[in-house]
Every structure is written in structure tokens, then in C-alpha cells.
Amino acid sequence: MRPGMAAFALLASFFCALSLDLAARAATTERVVVNRYSGLAIGGFDPVAYFTESMALQGLPDFEARGAGAIWRFRNEGNRASFVAHPEIYGPQFGGYDPVDLGRGVTYAGNPRFWVVAGQRLYLFGREDNRDAFAADPSRFLKEATTRWPALERGLAQ
């Protein structure tokens, strides 16, 4: 009887830990999407590389900048300098939240691997299908996201 109870307790603790981890990932209370454990914005990806390399590339710990309550990483000093000079251009729009979901009234953190540069701005998406829909017609999604963003942003922690 005891091995069965131990197995049940182990299984229950596994699912409890899993649900807490998923809740932690789903909770979006920052104005910029930041990893709550590392403090890295957009998963440590270099925001300038999306523009210069047309790729999602990991930044390096040797090239960091702090801003908007986050640590930003870059591939090189040039990318770091460009970002520091113009974070409004190179930083992900809507703080890295998915603009398709913002249009629905939901703040959902974008994944740095699902991205689009449209109108010389970077947008991140929580799901690949959101990215694909946005890429087909950015103006349709930006209109609603831009309208809803101020109210949603006020609800996020400062």
C-alpha cells in the first residue's frame, strides 16, 4: 500500500510543480516581457539582429544593456550601441507582447522565435499561427492592438 501512496504523492507533486511553472510563464505583469528568473528581455535574443541579420540570434553576456526594467543582450558592441541610442526602434513593439492577442484584449508574451519586422518595427508572437496571420495583413492587427494597448499596458506592473 505504501509504494502506491508514494507513487501517487510523487505524481501529484509533479503535476503541481508543472501547473505552477505554467502559471508563472503565463503570468504577464511586466510592461516589457522579461524572464522572471534571469531578468533577460526577449529571452536574451539580440533585438537589433532581427533588423541587421534578419534572424533571431542569441545575444551574449559580454554585450548587455539595462533599460525598461530588463537586461538586453546583443551579439556585438555595435548592436548594443544602436539599441541604446534608439530603443524605441529596435525594442519589440508592445513590450514584446503578441499584437494579435492584444487585439483580442489579452496580454500574452511573445516568443522571440516567432517574429516579424513590419513598418521598420519588431513584433513578437506567442504562436506561429498568430505570426503568419499578422504577416499577411499587419495593418488589420495593428489597428486593434494599438487601440487596446494603452488600457492593457496600464494594467501591467510598472
| pLDDT digit string, tens, across residues 65-107 | 998 889 999 999 999 999 999 999 999 999 999 999 999 999 9
Question: How many domains is the chain built from?
Answer: 2
Q: Do residue 97 and residue 120 come from a single domain?
A: yes
Alpha-carbon distance of 74 to 44, in angstroms, equals 8
Domain that includes residue 81, residue range:
31-154
Same domain, 24 and 37: no
pLDDT at 27 over 50: no
pLDDT (average), residues 33-56: 95
Q: 99 and 124 share a domain? A: yes
pLDDT at 4: 53
75 and 20 within one domain: no
Residue-wise pLDDT tens digits, 116-148? 999 999 999 999 999 999 999 999 999 999 999
| Residue 28 reports pLDDT greater than 80 | no
- Tell me: do 88 and 146 sit in the same domain: yes
pLDDT digits (tens, 9 = 90+) for 49-71: 999 999 999 999 999 999 888 99
- Both 88 and 111 in one domain: the answer is yes
41 and 14 belong to one structural domain: no
CA 11-12-14 angle, 5° bins: 65
How far CA 77 is from CA of 49, 54, 84, in Å, comes to 12, 18, 10
Contacts of 117 (CB under 8 A, 6+ apart): 50, 51, 54, 123
pLDDT band at residue 20 using 50, 70 and 90 as cut-offs: very low
